[in-house]
Structure 1
Amino acid sequence: MIPLTLKVIAPSIAQGAVTGSKLSFSSAKLTQLSEDDFMMSVSGEVTGTGPLKATIQVPDGVKVSWNQLLIGQLPLDTITAQPFTGAKIESSQKFKVLNKTAFAEFNKFMLKEREFTWHLEGIASVEAAGLNLQGIVLSKDVTMGGMQNFPSVKIDSFNAPAEHPDGGIEIEINSTLGNPSPINVELGDLVFDVEYLGHIVGEVGATGVTLVSGDNKLDLKGRLIPQNSTEALAAVGDLFSKFITGQNATTSVIAKSVRPNNESAPISWLQSAFVGTKLSVVLQGGKDLKIISSVDINALDLQFNNENPYIPMASSSSLTAGFSIPFGFPLEMKQISQQITMFDGDKELASLGSPFTAATGDSKSGKIETSFAPTPFKVAKGSEELFDDFSKRLTLEKSVSLKMKGVANSIAKTPVGEVEIQGIEFEVQTTLPGIQGLKTKPAVVNSLVVTGGTAENMLIKLSVTLFNPSNVKISMGDVIFDLLFQDQPMGKVIMENFVLDRGENNVNVIAQFGPKGDEANKAGRELLDNFIIGKSNTVGIKGSAQSTPIAPLQKALAALELTTTMPGLKSPKPIIEQARFAIGLNTIFDSKGTASIDAFNPFDTTIKFLNIKSNIQVKDDEIGNIDQDLSADPVIIPSGKTVTTKDFDLNLKISGAAIKSLFDSLAGNLKTNIAATIGVAIGDFVTEIDYSQNDVPTSLGKGAGQ
């Protein structure tokens, strides 16, 4: 009776045990993928099988459904359950795909979601307690973790080593992809599109990929592709900008294709599931990158004005920067813009900004050549005195150093197109050659022309060569220097709209000669006398705080002190071309006669003789003198002309030798030496000159009424 009862109730007990048991998979591995099947290795366990040892077989395997869709069939290995403990499962069977469309949908779901549930259904046989029970229904749900769209994707390294042979820029990405699912999949070769800011900017791939649970190292290689649209190029530029400036950029990697290997066609259900999978990937910015290593200002122009003395206009026709990029692909600079703050030591001095300007240079040479148009050079508030001192040091010293901090933006030609790279920060030291007080080469007076005079000054026009060894060009407006001779002030030297250029400067200068005071007049008279007789003189040109109204240049110009040689007057003729004496019968009794001269004006302006005092000698013997006031009727001599003066009163000192000389003169060979003090007016400037001339051709005639 009991065996019969067991046979009746055993199937119910077996069914209940199977139904009440729990089936779980702890891991699964999919390999040897094909269109119709793949090998599926699972690890798991069966629990809750009851107090009896049982052997469970599913001869025809189980139908696998997901979301009420039949997706495949999976054979199951024999399960041997122990009393109260169940059984461990280690199985490797071929999974047959029954519905490729549904299976593709399942894989999409598995890739994106946290977990999924399979429903397994089949007919099992159970052998327990010596009974072999058939027709037991196996119906189980198995839940496993999904891949959650791979929430942990990390780029370990990024490189762009070269131009890609197919166009664009070769890229190499070493990454770690975290798979939170217990499912491992033998994928093969993968290809992804790289998307940034809504644009496909590149494509990368990996070969022989098996996706395992946990971290997966993926070595991706590919390229950034050439771009045609402004928007896409802007996206590439932003990507490079963020990397170079140390900022993170969030990109998207979009699955494009998967196939077992390069020679195999894609597996339709896997391709369908894989394509379009979008992963968010953060490209971390480069660390401690120094893109710009040096800046050399080959030429700097500063244009000052009195309205805004501490905001001169600055420009440069030549600026060179040393640079490098952390990549190997070729990059050619096209344009560059800059925002620069300059420091004198650690103190902020000034700032300037220049818009995009043409640039040349490439990553191979590591040099950028550029320039910038006039832009305000803004001295920092509170740094005015510092800038005054800087200007002085630039004027006097061999060189001055500056620290330059700023941000540069560039437009560069790359294998993907012209891109704008923004926010390149730099901090470099640069050196400007100093002006060295304009003393590296002598100041040379090339020409000197007396052009006229005012009531206060004689006006002299000079052409002077100054040499500026610096690469700084300075526009200063009108500047005024003191003119010195024998340390006495002679007047002023005026340089109108003075521009001190680099190198040799030929400067037109106006000198105002007008010494004041006894000592200055004495020295000035000597200077003028030497000039008239053609003798060169060493003069000084000295600056002062009054040299310019432009405050930041006052200390600099006040420190300037030059010496130069002022050449003597070069005249094609002597001032006295000929002298004429006239005596009469009474001369021997009253020692009176008359004299006139042919006077030449070597100046470039009309001169007037206002008075003349002269001593006349023949071979060291004085024969007479003249003391004539001409102020009522001056002798007027136009520039470059010779004028015969009216007769002057001649006081003769007749000696034996003098008489002999006079008689000799009748033969026409009398030569006299004349030493004169002449009061002259040059324009409206009145002064006296001491003038001596030897061997003046002199003729003797009879005076009227004598």
Structure 2
Amino acid sequence: MDAWVSHAGIFSATIKFNEPLQVAWVNTSGDQVTPGSFSLDPLKVKSKRAYINQTVPFTIADEAAFSAFTSAMITQPNFTWHLTSDKLDVRALAFPTAHGLHFKKDVTLNGMNNFGRARLARRLQAARDDPAGGIVFSATTGLDNSSAFNVNLGTGSGANTVIKPGSNAVTLDGRLVPQTGTDALATTFELFTKYLNGEQADVVATGKSSIQADGRAVSWLSAGLTALELHVPFVAPGGAVSPIKAITIGDMSLEFSTHAPWAPVSNSRTVLAAMELPFGFGLEIEEISNRGRCRACQLDG
């Protein structure tokens, strides 16, 4: 926690919290629920302010309430905590210590706001075929965490995926499952057509769960992540892709017509195309057709 307390008095003083600070979260309905509490070391007041730079554990008292709070913290732009604590001791200068004081404060903090608008940070790879069918892909995505909280998402491409305050580069793994329906195939066709043309498609990634390095799932964090809707741009990093690199024509014939004598139709039985696609998965091409017309032919005689 990195913060400061204002209006703490004109005298230098020490504030001691003898009991943990109870945290009541004000939800979107305006109701207060208490997910837990945390303790603070004594604060030193100087020039009317007390600076807080402490890393403290948060004790969860109500897992359901904390799960609901986590969902709000991840998806909302801000949230409000109502902090209370009793039995504070305050000693200013050489004055006697004041005992049994009460602390009550509303604090509005920045949320993660679905990590803002995700951006393609480094790479997008369609790495390989999935043995179970479909395509396994990996995307390194830029995420902005506007809150003051670290979130350990657990296993991503590395051992642990931690999203810190500020800008983050996070690798997301996924699988494109086989598509069979007409609408699903049309959507997939549009997705990869935009990719090859260098156009951006908006892909929505939704939270599923949080699996830590030891294989455990954190229930309250997983519950919060299921509310996450992350918009990830699906776009070729290098711009439009030109899959045909070269064409070799073995033979050619011209078909003339009295209706268009100066625009013969060209035909060839041996056209070879050298293709290169930026994918690491197998691709079966069932049919290729080409029809061209020679519009600049000159005949002698």
**TM-score strictly above 0.5:** yes
Note if contact 2:145-2:165 (Cα within 8 Å) is conserved in structure 1: yes
Aligned twin of 2:257 = 305
Residue 102 of structure 2 aligns with an amino acid whose one-letter code is V
Q: How does 1:541-560 map to 2 (within 5 A)?
A: 555=300, 558=301
Aligned twin of 1:173 = 139
- The yes-or-no answer on 1:185 pairing with 2:144 is no
Q: How does 1:98-497 map to 2 (within 5 A)?
A: 98-123=61-86, 124-128=88-92, 129-155=94-120, 156-190=122-156, 207-261=159-213, 263-264=215-216, 266-285=217-236, 286-287=238-239, 289-338=241-290, 352=292, 377=293, 379=295, 386-387=296-297, 389=298, 392=299
Deviation at 1:113? 2.0
Deviations 1:578-609 (A, max 9, x none): xxxxxxxxxxxxxxxxxxxxxxxxxxxxxxxx
Q: What secondary structure sits across from 1:103 in the alignment? A: helix
Residue 225 of structure 1 aligns with an amino acid whose one-letter code is V
User: Compared with structure 1, are the counterparts of its residues 310 and 80 closer, same or farther at alpha carbon in structure 2 (3 Å cutoff)?
Assistant: same
Q: What secondary structure sits across from 2:150 in the alignment? A: strand
Note if contact 2:155-2:212 (Cα within 8 Å) is conserved in structure 1: yes
User: Compared with structure 1, are the counterparts of its residues 260 and 337 closer, same or farther at alpha carbon in structure 2 (3 Å cutoff)?
Assistant: same
- The yes-or-no answer on 1:66 pairing with 2:25 is yes
Deviation at 1:93? 2.4
Deviations 1:372-397 (A, max 9, x none): xxxxx373xxxxxx42x2xx3xxxxx
TM-score, normalised to structure 2's length?
Answer: 0.87
Note if contact 2:143-2:170 (Cα within 8 Å) is conserved in structure 1: yes
CA distance in structure 2 between the partners assigned to 1:106 and 1:227 by the alignment? 37
CA distance in structure 2 between the partners assigned to 1:234 and 1:300 by the alignment? 35
Note if contact 1:206-1:220 (Cα within 8 Å) is conserved in structure 2: no
Deviations 1:613-648 (A, max 9, x none): xxxxxxxxxxxxxxxxxxxxxxxxxxxxxxxxxxxx
Deviation at 1:168? 2.2
Q: What secondary structure sits across from 2:183 in the alignment? A: helix
Deviations 1:425-480 (A, max 9, x none): xxxxxxxxxxxxxxxxxxxxxxxxxxxxxxxxxxxxxxxxxxxxxxxxxxxxxxxx
Deviations 1:16-35 (A, max 9, x none): xxxxxxxxxxxxxxxxxxxx
Deviation at 1:157? 0.9
CA distance in structure 2 between the partners assigned to 1:143 and 1:294 by the alignment? 61
Deviation at 1:313? 4.5
CA distance in structure 1 between the partners assigned to 2:60 and 2:114 by the alignment? 23
TM-score, normalised to structure 1's length?
Answer: 0.39
Aligned twin of 2:29 = none
Note if contact 2:68-2:224 (Cα within 8 Å) is conserved in structure 1: yes
Aligned with residue 41 of structure 2, among 74, 77, 80: 77
Deviations 1:310-332 (A, max 9, x none): 45454444422111111222212
Q: How does 1:614-629 map to 2 (within 5 A)?
A: none
Q: How does 1:496-575 map to 2 (within 5 A)?
A: 555=300, 558=301
Deviation at 1:226? 2.1
Aligned twin of 1:88 = 51
Residue 158 of structure 1 aligns with an amino acid whose one-letter code is L
Deviation at 1:85? 3.2
Note if contact 2:11-2:48 (Cα within 8 Å) is conserved in structure 1: no
- The yes-or-no answer on 1:47 pairing with 2:10 is no
Q: Among all aligned residue pairs of Structure 1 and Structure 2, give the percentage whose two residues are the same amino acid.
A: 30
CA distance in structure 2 between the partners assigned to 1:273 and 1:246 by the alignment? 34
CA distance in structure 2 between the partners assigned to 1:157 and 1:214 by the alignment? 20
CA distance in structure 2 between the partners assigned to 1:92 and 1:308 by the alignment? 83
Deviation at 1:189? 2.2
CA distance in structure 1 between the partners assigned to 2:220 and 2:111 by the alignment? 17
CA distance in structure 1 between the partners assigned to 2:202 and 2:107 by the alignment? 36
CA distance in structure 2 between the partners assigned to 1:109 and 1:276 by the alignment? 8
Deviation at 1:175? 2.1
Note if contact 1:189-1:208 (Cα within 8 Å) is conserved in structure 2: yes
Note if contact 1:116-1:146 (Cα within 8 Å) is conserved in structure 2: yes
CA distance in structure 1 between the partners assigned to 2:100 and 2:265 by the alignment? 98
Moved more, 111-120 or 157-166: 157-166
Deviation at 1:299? 4.3
Q: What secondary structure sits across from 1:131 in the alignment? A: coil
Unaligned 5+ runs, structure 2: 27-31
Deviations 1:58-116 (A, max 9, x none): 2121110111111111112112223x332211223221112222222222221122221
Note if contact 2:80-2:106 (Cα within 8 Å) is conserved in structure 1: yes
Q: What secondary structure sits across from 2:133 in the alignment? A: coil
User: Compared with structure 1, are the counterparts of its residues 316 and 276 closer, same or farther at alpha carbon in structure 2 (3 Å cutoff)?
Assistant: farther
CA distance in structure 2 between the partners assigned to 1:306 and 1:256 by the alignment? 66
User: Compared with structure 1, are the counterparts of its residues 111 and 79 closer, same or farther at alpha carbon in structure 2 (3 Å cutoff)?
Assistant: same
Unaligned 5+ runs, structure 1: 1-41, 191-204, 341-351, 353-376, 380-385, 393-554, 559-706
CA distance in structure 2 between the partners assigned to 1:326 and 1:93 by the alignment? 47
CA distance in structure 2 between the partners assigned to 1:245 and 1:132 by the alignment? 72
User: Compared with structure 1, are the counterparts of its residues 228 and 276 closer, same or farther at alpha carbon in structure 2 (3 Å cutoff)?
Assistant: farther
User: Compared with structure 1, are the counterparts of its residues 78 and 249 closer, same or farther at alpha carbon in structure 2 (3 Å cutoff)?
Assistant: same
Note if contact 1:206-1:221 (Cα within 8 Å) is conserved in structure 2: no
Residue 281 of structure 1 aligns with an amino acid whose one-letter code is V
Deviation at 1:293? 1.5
Deviations 1:134-169 (A, max 9, x none): 221100112221112112422221122322334322
Deviations 1:536-573 (A, max 9, x none): xxxxxxxxxxxxxxxxxxx3xx2xxxxxxxxxxxxxxx
Deviation at 1:213? 0.9
Q: What secondary structure sits across from 2:143 in the alignment? A: strand
CA distance in structure 2 between the partners assigned to 1:108 and 1:256 by the alignment? 12
Q: What secondary structure sits across from 1:167 in the alignment? A: coil
Deviation at 1:126? 2.0
